[in-house]
Amino acid sequence: MLNPITLSTGGDVCECYNDDANGHWINPDDGCVVCLQGWNMPHCTECAARK
């Protein structure tokens, strides 16, 4: 699952989604496949404290 957002049309610079709808992701250079600390895989939309 890749979750980057390109910063410009056709661009090669990306940032990761960081919102409740698309998930809280980090490491755009690796394709945004790791959750921000405190969020659960696989979608990074569930707070880790809720488990």
Tens digits of residue pLDDT in 5-28: 666 666 667 889 999 999 999 998
Residue 42 bridge partners (DSSP): none
User: Contact, 18 vs 24, CB < 8 A?
Assistant: yes
Structural domain total, the chain: 1
Question: How many Cβ atoms from other residues are within 10 Å of residue 20's Cβ?
Answer: 12
Q: What percent of the chain has pLDDT over 90?
A: 53
Sequence-distant (6+) residues with CB within 8 A of 2 are 31, 32, 33
The phi and psi torsions of 49 (rounded to 5 degrees) equal: -70, -15
Q: Could you list the residue range(s) of the whole structural domain that residue 28 is in?
A: 4-50
At 22 the pLDDT is: 93
Summarize pLDDT for 39-51 with one digit per residue, the tens. 999 999 999 986 5
pTM score, whole prediction:
0.76
